[in-house]
């Protein structure tokens, strides 16, 4: 049986995973585009799949498989400009690109971002203080990561709304009326110009370092790297703050505990990544050879999603998997993925998350939901679990 995923699923995927898990660690799903995917639900099975070289990501290979198997059904972008990046690549290309970014993404560079993150967070909270109610996503969760990633890469984004539109269009959206091809074209044109400027006048930032590393990355790969870092460094962190705040507001005792004991916040970030992290399913992979998951053989040439959120609440791996406990030993969650594509930005994301929650709770310890939880709406998205808005009252 193939499950069609719609509104109810995106609002509460965990309820579906709980149900499907009873039938085994893998289920067949589709999003209405005519291309079914296998969704792995189990923690151990998902972790094994993420480390399995028979599950591939090369973008040309993926499109060739889909074109052969489901001719005419998949509407991918007309060109791969901007999409030749490491999350769309297998070794040895992936290895080369990952080495280049690891050289540039140094612990020193990340540590230097701490004051930038703190100042930005405090400035945004100051801006909120005049209001009784705000949409926390718009006022805080979204602008903070944009400012941080733009600082890291020294990208001057004048128009945050357009930038947000591009990134939203390019990360797994299933919503109708989104012109992905146009968003991609505009973002690539913007990035080409920016890289040209960095070539002529390099700065101290991470992209200048990558541009200077001439022998390693060609022009298309540089554009792809910039695009990937901007998108991956942004949409995920926005929704860590959004989903995380909601999880704290759903049960006051969780939030009060962190207000009383802010030293718990780094562990709470880890638990929030497990409990309801922003990446619901890892990005699309395809089987180069048949693989076996539980009792199911997935043939070659099939599309596979690894359910990170599902694995993170697998009761075979985590005791009280649906509960929230920042003091439990939960660090082995799948929120940042696993294997060769493990999130390269995890240390930065952890730092941003810790600063975001500590500054927010310190400034507004009485924050509460401004609407009934049933009124919250979620994006239809194949990768990210994301609220559309998070209306909050800042004080009693």
Complex with ligand HEM: residue 166 or 370, whichever CB lies closer? 166
Kindly give the pairing relationship between strand 26-30 and strand 391-393: unpaired
Helices 252-260, 235-250: crossing angle, 10 deg rounding = 100
Q: Which helix (H) or strand (E) holds 37?
A: strand 37-40
CB neighbours (10 Å) of residue 138? 13
344: CB partners within 8 A, 6+ apart: 98, 101, 102, 105
Q: Tell me how far, at minimum, the Cβ of 133 lies from ligand HEM, in Å.
A: 26
Q: Tell me how far, at minimum, the Cβ of 340 lies from ligand HEM, in Å.
A: 6
Residues that bind ligand HEM (CB under 6 A): 86-87, 98, 149, 228-229, 232-233, 236-237, 240, 277-279, 282-283, 308, 335-337, 341, 343-345, 348-349
What span, in angstroms and rounded, lies between the C-alpha atoms of 338 and 47? 6
For 160-181, letters b (16+ CB in 10 Å) and e give: eeebbbbbbbbbbbbeeeeeee
Complex with ligand HEM: residue 82 or 278, whichever CB lies closer? 278
DSSP 336: T
What span, in angstroms and rounded, lies between the C-alpha atoms of 143 and 128? 12
Which phi and psi (to 5°) does residue 153 adopt? -95, -5
What span, in angstroms and rounded, lies between the C-alpha atoms of 40 and 97? 27
Q: Which residue is nearest to ligand HEM (CB)?
A: 345
Complex with ligand HEM: residue 173 or 394, whichever CB lies closer? 173
Complex with ligand HEM: residue 210 or 255, whichever CB lies closer? 210
Complex with ligand HEM: residue 283 or 393, whichever CB lies closer? 283
Complex with ligand HEM: residue 26 or 282, whichever CB lies closer? 282
Q: Which helix (H) or strand (E) holds 107?
A: helix 107-111
Q: Tell me how far, at minimum, the Cβ of 91 lies from ligand HEM, in Å.
A: 10
Complex with ligand HEM: residue 5 or 344, whichever CB lies closer? 344
Q: Tell me how far, at minimum, the Cβ of 341 lies from ligand HEM, in Å.
A: 4
Q: Tell me how far, at minimum, the Cβ of 275 lies from ligand HEM, in Å.
A: 12
| Paired strand residues for 364 | none
């Amino acid at each position: 049986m193939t499950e069609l995923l719609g509104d109810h699923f995106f609002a509460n995927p965990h309820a579906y995973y709980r149900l499907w898990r009873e039938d085994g660690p893998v289920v067949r799903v589709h999003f209405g585009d005519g291309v079914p995917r296998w969704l792995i639900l189990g923690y151990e099975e998902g972790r094994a799949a993420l480390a399995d070289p028979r599950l591939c990501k090369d973008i040309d290979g993926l499109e060739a498989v889909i074109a052969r198997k489901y001719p005419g059904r998949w509407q991918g972008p007309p060109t791969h400009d901007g999409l030749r990046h490491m999350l769309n690549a297998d070794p040895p290309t992936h290895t080369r690109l990952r080495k280049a970014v690891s050289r540039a993404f140094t612990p020193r560079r990340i540590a230097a971002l701490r004051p930038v993150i703190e100042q930005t967070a405090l400035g945004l909270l100051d801006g909120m203080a005049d209001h009784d109610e705000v949409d926390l996503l718009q006022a805080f969760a979204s602008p903070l990561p944009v400012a941080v990633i733009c600082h890291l890469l020294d990208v001057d984004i004048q128009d945050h709304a357009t930038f947000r539109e591009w990134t939203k269009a390019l990360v797994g959206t299933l919503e109708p009326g989104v012109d992905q091809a146009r968003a991609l074209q505009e973002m690539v044109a913007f990035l080409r110009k920016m890289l040209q400027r960095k070539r002529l006048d390099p700065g101290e930032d991470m992209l200048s370092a990558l541009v200077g590393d001439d022998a390693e990355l060609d022009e298309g790969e540089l554009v792809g790297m910039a695009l990937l870092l901007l998108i991956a460094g942004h949409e995920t962190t926005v929704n860590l703050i959004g989903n995380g705040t909601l999880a704290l507001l759903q049960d006051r005792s969780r939030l009060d505990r962190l207000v009383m004991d802010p030293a718990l916040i780094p562990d709470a970030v880890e638990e929030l990544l497990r409990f309801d992290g922003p990446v619901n399913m890892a990005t699309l992979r395809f089987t180069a050879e048949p693989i076996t998951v539980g009792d199911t053989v997935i043939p070659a040439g099939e599309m596979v999603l690894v359910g990170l959120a599902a694995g993170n609440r697998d009761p075979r791996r985590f005791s009280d998997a649906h509960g929230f406990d920042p003091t439990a030993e939960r660090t082995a969650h799948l929120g940042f993925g696993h294997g060769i594509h493990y999130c390269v930005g995890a240390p930065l994301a952890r730092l941003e998350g810790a600063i975001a929650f500590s500054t927010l709770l310190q400034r507004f310890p009485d924050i509460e939901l401004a609407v009934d939880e049933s009124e919250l709406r979620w994006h239809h998205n194949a990768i990210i679990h994301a609220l559309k808005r998070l209306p909050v009252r800042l004080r009693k």
